[in-house]
């Protein structure tokens, strides 16, 4: 298998209800993963880009969170409706979607 051009890490961590940090799983990350998977299949991207569901990536309050590497581009508060824009504009055309970016301040 050739080395992928990019890796898309998607937090699917699920914490119990009432946990103070919340979790991406509680905020719908599985639906976001499902939409990435659907579009990767439709657009035949799996040979070029790896989709990697993960545990907690850190900025839980901003979830669902996705990190694209080696670009080091992070996205926050994603919904399934946001995914096609990321796939088309960033993963295919190479331009991150500014309106959805996680900033350095979001880590505080």
Site for ligand FES in 10-29 (CB under 6 A): 11, 13, 23-24
Work out the widest C-alpha separation in the chain, in whole angstroms. Answer: 43
**Does residue 87 interact with ligand FES by CB under 6 A?**
no
Smallest gap from Cβ 45 to ligand FES, in A, equals 23
Distance CA 61, CA 52 (A): 20
Determine the interface stretch with ligand FES among 53-61, 68-76, 79-87, 92-100 (rule: CB under 6 A): 53-61
Determine the interface stretch with ligand FES among 33-41, 52-60, 80-88, 90-98 (rule: CB under 6 A): 52-60
Distance CA 103, CA 76 (A): 9
Which residues neighbour 52 within 8 Å (Cβ) at sequence distance 6 or greater?
7, 8, 9, 10
Q: Summarize as ranges the residues that interact with ligand FES (CB under 6 A).
A: 11, 13, 23-24, 56-60, 63, 65
């Amino acid at each position: 298998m050739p080395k992928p051009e990019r890796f898309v890490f998607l937090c699917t961590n699920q914490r119990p209800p009432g946990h103070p940090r919340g979790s991406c799983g509680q905020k719908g990350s599985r639906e976001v993963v499902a939409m990435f998977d659907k579009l990767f299949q439709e657009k035949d991207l799996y040979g070029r880009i790896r989709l990697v569901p993960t545990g907690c990536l850190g900025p839980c309050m901003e979830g669902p969170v996705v990190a694209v590497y080696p670009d080091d581009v992070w996205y926050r508060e994603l919904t399934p409706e946001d995914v096609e824009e990321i796939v088309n504009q960033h993963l295919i055309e190479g331009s991150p979607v500014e309106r959805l970016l996680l900033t350095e301040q979001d880590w505080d």
